[in-house]
Amino acid sequence: MKLTLDTEARTLTLEEAGQTRTLNLYSKEAFEAISRQWVRVGWDQKYPYTFSWMGRPIIQLPEDMLRIQEVVFRVKPDVIIETGVAHGGSLIFYSSLCRAMDRGRVIGIDIEIRPHNRTAIEAHPLNDRITLIEGSSTDPNIVARVKALVAPGETVLVILDSNHTYAHVSSELEAYAGLVTSGSYLVATDGIMHDLADVPRGVSAWTTDNPTAAARDFLLGHPEFMLEQPAWPFNESGLDQNITHWPGAWLRRN
């Protein structure tokens, strides 16, 4: 795709698949086209690696975190399960929401929790609502440990943010789907990989080897879930599309 931006003429010209369109630079369609390329360049420049939450690196697109906090506030889960710990910023983020609501706790799973990250997470003032489990998120023994930490009748939200290959995410979806309660979500993050295959740091296989493809195929065999991007509770604009690293991620249990 080729974008030609003319600020004097106030136009954005798009050339893609042999077709050319000229848009009003200040239109919804132009905003969406520019945003898509901004996400691609930002990912390649490691823009998400510039953010932290209460002292811990979070490595997420800020809009995704703002959107999910509204979901957490609405669902009010008793347990938030996240695969993939890294520096622990997102665990601290979810724990802070639980503290603010005076409800909920967080379980973080990672195949390797590096000692300096574990030390920092365990020393954090919001660690009291966090349980760390080290091991593969798809190991049956690890899955069993997680399930044992969830009491009958508790509301559960699951966020998958570890290994983003199609195979691994597919296995995680199958492993944790049964824990997700009605009205809550199973979130397969970072499906933006499908649109990053041709950027300098991208990998060509990502066009098909990505979480969005895994979530789509999971839905074919699980009618108890539906693809549902959570609605924005406030919107006084004409926009309706998220700027996100998590396209096609939100699977809501009926």
pLDDT exceeds 90 at position 1: no
Q: Residue 71: its pLDDT value, please?
A: 98
In a 3-state reduction of DSSP, which class is residue 178?
helix
Give Dmax (Cα) for the chain.
62
pLDDT of 16: 86
> Which DSSP string do the residues of 97-116 spell out, in sequence order?
HHHHHT--EEEEEES---HH
What is the number of helices (H) and of strands (E) in the chain?
Answer: 7, 12
pLDDT confidence of residue 107: 98
Convert the pLDDT of each residue in 93-110 to its tens digit: 999 999 999 999 999 999
Query: Has residue 17 got a pLDDT over 90?
Result: no
Choose among 216, 217, 196: nearest CA to 206.
196
pLDDT (0 to 100) of residue 248: 97
Domains, the chain, ranges and CATH? 2-44 (no CATH), 52-253 (3.40.50.150)
- Report residue 12's pLDDT band, with 50, 70 and 90 as the boundaries: very high
Confidence of residue 32 (pLDDT cuts 50, 70, 90): very high
Say which DSSP state 202 is in.
-
The 10s digit of each residue's pLDDT in 48-100 is 999 999 999 999 999 999 999 999 999 999 999 999 999 999 999 999 999 99
Helix, strand, coil content of the chain in percent (nearest 5): 40, 20, 40
